[in-house]
Amino acid sequence: MVMLVVAFVSFSLFTFVGDPVHNMVGEETSDVEREEIRETLGLNDPIPVQFMRFVGNASKGNFGISYQLRRPVSELITERLPATLELVFVSALIALITGTLLGVYTGINRKSFLSDLILAISLLGVSLPTFVIGILFIYLFAVILGVLPSFGRGEVIELGFWTTGLLTISGLKAIILPSVTLSLFQMTYIIRLVRAEMMEILQMDYIKFARARGINERTIHYKHALKNGLIPVITIAGINIGTLVAFSIITETVFQWPGMGFLFIQAVKFVDIPIMSAYLVFIAFVFVMINFIVDILYYFIDPRIRVKSGAANG
Amino acid sequence: MKIKSLAKILLTLLLVFNFSSAWAANTIKWSMQGDSLTLDPHAQNEGPTTMVSRQVYEALVTRGLDMSIGPQLATKWKAVNPTTWYFFLREDVKFSDGTPMTSEDVVFSILRAKQPTSDFKEYISSISSVKAIDKYTVQIKTKEPNPILLNQLSNIFVMSKAWATKNFSIVPQNWNASQETFASTNAMGTGPFKITLREPNTKTVFKKNGKWWGNVEHNLTSIELLPIANAATRVAALLSGEIDIVTDAPVQDLGRIGSSGGHKVESTPQMRTIFLGMDQGADQLRSGNTGDNPFKKKEVRQALYQAIDIEAIKKKVMRGLSEPAGIITFPGVTGYTKALDKRLPYDPEAAKKLLADAGYPNGFDVELRCPNDRYVNDEAICTAVVGMFGKIGVNVSLNSQTKSKHFKELKNKKGDFYMLGWGVPTLDSHYVFHYLYDTGASWNRVNFTNARVDELIKVMEGEVDLDKRNAAIAEAWKIVKDDISYLPLHHQVISWASAKSVNVPIRPNNEPLFRFSSKN
Amino acid sequence: MDNKNMSIIERIKDSDIYFSFIKSPTAIISSIILLIIFFSSFFVELVAPFNPFDPSSLSLMDAFTPPSWSQDGVSKFILGTDGQGRDMLSTILYGSRISLIVGFSAILFSLILGVALGLTAGYFGGKYEMIVMRITDVQLTVPSILMALLVDGIARGLISKELHDEMAIYVLIFAIGISEWPQFARVSRAATLVEKNKDYVSASTIIGVSNILIMFKHILPNILRPILVIGTIGLALAIIAESTLSFLGVGVPPTTPSLGTLIRIGNDFLFSGEWWITFFPAIFLVVLAFSINLLGDWMRDTLNPKLN
């Protein structure tokens, strides 16, 4: 459903914004020639026919040719896909691990000074625009200290259609600043979420019962409380992966990371409609996929849902 | 016997060495703020465009590292009379697709460069006919004796007739009308490199052309051109090792790059003058508010001239790396003198008075058009002069855009007031007059017209007596300088910054010659 | 009758808010900071030491002056100057005005749109409600920055280049506004659903008060509190969105620089040691957003604990 709506939006983009013919030929082309091109491109067909063709092509990964770069959009996207996904993956990992740890800490030690500090910093994190964080990092680590690169992916290794920067030292160094920058915003959310969950769960009966049974605090915190607290975290983290993909636009621009977000920004500046619509479809696809995966994960982590959905289906 | 076997061993070693060095990928990653506008070698006469073409295409003659003219596709030439030349071609030249280059291709290319859509037609407008005498001899006739024919031919690149015909690229791409052709996105020449990937404004990959006829003096397997518009990012990329050489290092970052340890910076006065042009032909300014064209009055032009504090621009915007200019040509060009290059003094009070005398005591509105990715700190210079014009009451709005748009709109006669930079590849003043001052010339967007100057340009083209010719050049310069048809700003100083392991000799025309470059 | 009662209740509530405001130092401090910023941005002509857009007051020779406390600083340029010799403090204040105007207008736009749609959806229900809520669902899955970028891109395609610079600020307001409205729609619909079934609404319907009057006179005042909370937090988001778009180069034109544009321009000088050109606008932006967020946090706790 969502996919269909997005497909329609990107199709409308394609069809109604900017004349595709105008973008393909020069200003001196005659009207007759233009009409011929329109005909061969099928732009004179009824709109529903055009839409069906668009969906058909899109599902095959065919989004036409970039106005600006003059190369098939699908090719451009697949080239840049690994860069963005690696960045998002590393960021999500950082946000999830660090966010959970800090969230648990602040949830357990509610009154400590460190907890207050972490929370204050996390609110500051929400107020700091991603690009400002990026600039601060570049200034600190690349300009003043000169220890980390502020540009690009470093050396990449080709593994078939995939290129990875995670297997070389320069690639690993290059991913540190952008991924940390990208993860901060999500991390603050996860800290607050885990903290709230921990606080709620620690009040529950079964925890009190566990305490009464004399199980030590560590086991209670990490085995009983955290395990249950993680369920909402997984949902949010899942949904936020989509947000990370979108926010990578900014991070990629600041660090000149050769991913899809960078491509998209160029496309917006040059009104490169095929790339814009393809990117939109891609993002929607990511969202739908993530929702799907989260549902499955849920199913495995929380036995209650298994029972419920089984009952609902039956 | 012994010597022979020794020679054999040496030869084998040499082969092995060559072989292995060919296998080890050796790539120079090259960056500048803008990209080549088109790969069609005759469609745009613009610095970075020629820089890219030069690695792939070759001309009959060429300038070496020291900027002197020498043979390239032609091994020798002679003029049998003042207007008839013979060029004898190298016989072992092949295009990178393996087909041999012959006189047919040379004739085709010169005629192609004379087509209306060519941006090089003014270059060789003196050529009246060109024909193939035999497979490796070309005859060129000029209308009048032409003392600078070789200079001009050094920028006319030779294409394959068969390739251009097969790919529907017989005439040059109509760049001004945004046309795209096969030859504008692909290149196939006789040069030391060939282009294997072209993504405009993103990435261009040059690979070593194994079929090149010349002595390979470089040790590169490929070059990647990665334009980065943002100055800070370009420097970051260089310092992080993503880029090996930047041919327009931002002036504000030279100190930092030089002190980084792994990098070096070289600067040289460039053969390019930056100036502002004012359309004096239009009856009414397109972006004006007075209903007339103030630029028609010399007082107004002089007022704007004297409002420019060029020393402040040199110190603050260019950080000392520029040479204030009085004319649009620079030391080393025939006709240049120190006296001509002297500027009118900076004097905002006098400027205000001149404006009032011309009938604009309250100034006027106009839009200044600037590129933002072509010249050193182009946008910053424009912002600075806008402020200076504001001080004498001329309200200038700034329209800065990427160079492809800037040039296209300029060529299509949009805009009243614009920035441009002019290099002189022929090292002769004629080139400047022919493009910028001749009535109706393609880059004469100020619509300057002066019958005497037109006459003098004819003299420059046909006069073989050097004294008479120099006198004509001097007279022409005096006329246009007194008229203040353009507002000269400064001669650009260029800086190349590169990793220490990379050696690309710097040249005053800002053109890298990668066939003389190496990376260790 | 009704009206008078309302205003008395409002007054009591107001004093409640006043009480908790007095007790919260963060709220006081952040409001003071915000007041100062708002005042100096909107009356910038009176406050700023220079007018950075008046060429006659500029001198290129002043360019790149560091902040007054550093070695080469000059006391008249407290925060130093940029590459054109403009006083940083003045430039920031002028930029902050642009950022605030865009932020406020965008959030106002999304507030009106969101509340109108949410209110009517909750009130009328049926197919209309389903469609509106479906749209909010879909749009909520699209991150707002992406939405804004997309709208900006489309606008670039539709508006001619000549008009684009003049239109840029409106496009920006629309782009940010359209990406924030679903929040308002959701909250106002939820509140409307609750209010709709209360006796006084049914009573009004029976005595024949028109739908529009009921919505605006009776339901709207009851959902003001959550709207105010979302609006405050949304303002911070809108300001950040504006600066982000301008930083990416698709926001306001450089002739009327906002905070984001200033940061982008200053970014060019980061490597050459002129840190203040990008640093101060960035700090100003962070302080602004942080104060709004603090205030929003406090408001959420005080006005509407349920939202937490």
CB-based contact B174 A142, cutoff 8 Å: no
**Is C114 inside a domain boundary?**
yes
C220 in a structural domain: yes
Pairing of strands B27-31, B222-225: parallel
Over 90: is that where the pLDDT of A32 sits?
no
- Nearest Cβ partner for B312 among C54, C61, C272: C61
Nearest-angstrom CA–CA distance, B445 and B282: 10
Q: How far apart are CA C3 and CA C12, in angstroms?
A: 15
| C236 assigned to some structural domain | yes
**What are the φ and ψ backbone dihedral angles of B68, each rounded to 5 degrees?**
-90, 150
Helical spans, DSSP H, in B167-262: 182-185, 231-239, 254-258
**Count of domains observed in chain C:** 1
Token pair 């740890």 in the structure block, residue: A101
- Distance (Å, rounded) from C-alpha B102 to C-alpha B105? 6
Share above pLDDT 90 across residues of chain B, in percent, rounded to a whole number = 70
Cα–Cα distance for residue pair B9/B351, rounded to 1 Å: 77
Has residue C62 been placed in a domain?
Answer: no
C281 in a structural domain: yes
pLDDT at position A303: 61
Which residues in B lie closer than 8 A to residue A138 (C-beta atoms)?
A: 236
Q: What pLDDT was estimated at residue A70?
A: 67
Q: What sign does the CA torsion over B439, B441, B443, B445 have?
A: positive
Q: Determine, for residues A123 and C142 on separate chains, whether the beta-carbon distance falls below 8 Å.
A: no
Average confidence (pLDDT) over B489-516: 93
Domain membership of residue C137 (yes or no) is: yes
Q: Tell whether the model's pLDDT for residue B442 goes beyond 90.
A: no
Shortest Cα distance from B384 to chain C (angstroms)? 6
Q: Which of B44-53, C52-61, C171-180 has the lowest mean pLDDT?
A: C52-61
pLDDT at A307 over 60: no
Closest CA of chain B from C91, distance in Å: 15
Do A149 and B242 lie within an 8 Å CB cutoff? yes
Q: How many angstroms separate the CA atoms of C177 and C260, rounded?
A: 18
- Terminal alpha carbon distance of chain A: 24
Q: Select the more confidently predicted residue: A207 or A131.
A: A131
What pLDDT does residue B20 have? 40
Interchain CB distance below 8 Å, C249 and A271: no
Instruction: With CB atoms and an 8 Å threshold, state whether B390 touches C54.
Output: yes
Interface contact flag, A265 C278, Cβ < 8 Å = no
Average pLDDT value over all residues in chain B: 90
- Using CA atoms in the order A296, A297, A302, A305, what is the torsion angle rounded to 10 degrees? -20
Structure tokens, A243: 């947000």
Q: Find the CB nearest C269 among B236, B252, B397.
A: B252
| Residues 6+ positions from C169 with CB-CB distance below 8 Å | C98, C101, C102, C252, C256
pLDDT tens, A43-94?
666 767 777 777 777 777 677 777 766 678 888 888 888 899 999 999 999 9
Tokens linked to B114: 């004379």
> What average pLDDT does the segment C54-58 reach?
77
Which of B231, B250, B387 shows the shortest C-beta gap to C60?
A: B387
Provide, as residue numbers in chain A, all residues whose Cβ is less than 8 Å from the Cβ of B233.
151, 256
Query: Which residue bears the tokens 């052709």?
Result: B181
Task: Find chain C residues with C-beta within 8 A of A127's C-beta.
Answer: 236, 240, 286, 289-290, 292-293
Is the minimum CB–CB distance between B237 and chain A shorter than 8 Å?
yes
CB atoms A70 and B237 under 8 Å = no
CA distance A108 to A90: 27
Confidence of residue A40 (pLDDT cuts 50, 70, 90): low
Q: How far apart are CA B338 and CA A195, in angstroms?
A: 75
Closest chain C residue by Cα to residue B348: C56
CB C161 within 8 A of CB C219: no
**Which residue among B252, B317, B384 places its CB closest to the CB of C272?**
B252
Q: B216, B385, B281: which is closest to C84 by C-alpha?
A: B385
From chain A, the residues in CB contact with B179 under 8 A are 25-26, 28
Query: Which residues from B are below 8 Å from C254, CB to CB?
Result: 400
What is the domain-level CATH number for residue C205?
1.10.3720.10
Q: Which residue range forms the structural domain that includes residue C289?
A: 26-43+87-307
Across A228-233, average pLDDT:
73
- Pairing mode, if any, of strands B365-371 and B395-401? parallel
* Alpha-carbon distance values, A79 to A158, A164, B247, B345, C9 (Å): 11, 11, 27, 56, 62
Instruction: Give pLDDT, residue C6.
Output: 56
Residues of B with CB below 8 A from C255's CB? 397-398
Q: Which residue from B231, B236, B313 is facing C60, i.e. has the nearest CB?
A: B313
Question: If you count residue pairs, one on B and one on C, with CB atoms under 8 Å apart, how many are there?
Answer: 64
- Whether B230 and C56 lie within 8 Å, measured CB to CB: no
> Mutual orientation of helices B466-483 and B451-462 as an angle, nearest 10°?
150
Confidence grade of residue A153 (pLDDT, cut at 50, 70, 90): confident
A→B interface, C-beta within 8 Å: 25-28, 68-71, 138, 142, 149-152, 154, 170, 174, 256, 266
Q: Do A131 and C152 touch (CB under 8 A)?
A: no
pLDDT for B38 equals 93
pLDDT of residue B39: 95
Write the CB contacts of C205 (distance below 8 Å, at least 6 apart in sequence): C214
Contacts of A25 in chain B (CB under 8 A): 179-180
Whether B108 and B159 have beta carbons less than 8 Å apart is answered as: yes
Residues of chain C with pLDDT > 70, as a percent, come to: 91
Is residue C184, in this structure, part of any structural domain at all? yes
B202 has a chain A CB within 8 A of its CB = yes
**What is the rounded CA–CA span in Å between residue B419 and residue B308?**
14
Instruction: Measure C108 CA to nearest chain A CA, in Å.
Output: 20
pTM comes to 0.80
Collect all residues of chain B within an 8 Å Cβ-Cβ radius of residue A170. Answer: 241
B205: helix, strand or coil: strand
A226 in Cβ contact with A193 (< 8 Å): no
**Residues of B with Cβ-Cβ distance to C268 under 8 angstroms:** 230-232, 250, 252
Return the structure tokens found at B506: 């710097």
CB < 8 Å to B383, chain C? 84
| Interchain proximity B240–A69, CB inside 8 Å | no
Whether A278 has a pLDDT exceeding 90, the answer reads no
Q: Given phi > 0 = left and psi -120 to 50 = alpha, else beta, which region is B335?
A: left
Q: What is the pLDDT of residue B5?
A: 61
Identify the pLDDT of residue C8.
60
Other Cβ atoms less than 10 A from the Cβ of B198: the count is 22
Q: Say if the Cβ atoms of C282 and A132 lie within 8 Å.
A: yes
Q: How far is CA C109 from CA A160, C133, C183, in A?
A: 49, 19, 13
The radius of gyration of chain B's CA atoms, rounded to the nearest angstrom, is 24
pLDDT band, very low/low/confident/very high, at B328 (cuts 50, 70, 90): very high
C130 touches chain A (CB under 8 A): no
Q: Is the pLDDT of residue C307 over 50?
A: no
The pLDDT value recorded for residue A28 is: 45
Identify the pLDDT of residue C308: 38
Of A151-155, A264-268, B101-105, least confident by mean pLDDT is A151-155
User: With bands split at pLDDT 50, 70 and 90, how would you rate the model's confidence at B54?
Assistant: very high
Q: In sequence order, what DSSP letters do the residues of B358-411 get, joined into one string?
A: TT-TT--EEEEEEESSSSTTHHHHHHHHHHHHHHTT-EEEEEEE-HHHHHHHHH
Is B236 in contact with A69 (Cβ distance < 8 A)? no
Residue-wise pLDDT for C221-259, tens only, equals: 877 888 888 899 899 999 999 999 998 888 887 778 899
Are B241 and A170 in contact (CB < 8 Å)?
A: yes
Of B185, B236, B240, the CB nearest to A70: B185
* C279: closest CA of chain A, how far (Å): 8
C275 touches A at CB < 8 Å: yes
Among chain B residues, the shortest Cα distance to C65 is held by B316
pLDDT band at C114 (very low <50, low <70, confident <90, very high): very high
Tell me how many residue pairs between chain A and chain B have CB atoms under 8 A apart.
Answer: 49
Instruction: Note the pLDDT of residue A41.
Output: 62
Most A CBs within 10 Å: which of B198, B233, B235, B414, as the mutation test of the A interface?
A: B233
Q: Is the pLDDT of residue B16 over 50?
A: no
A132 part of contact set with chain C, CB < 8 Å: yes
Closest CA of chain B from C56, distance in Å: 5
Q: Would C20 be classed as within a structural domain?
A: no
Q: Is C152 on the interface with A (CB under 8 A)?
A: yes
CB-based contact B179 A26, cutoff 8 Å:
yes
pLDDT in tens, A94-138: 998 898 888 888 888 877 888 888 888 887 777 788 888 988 888
The verdict on a CB contact (< 8 Å) between B180 and A70 is yes
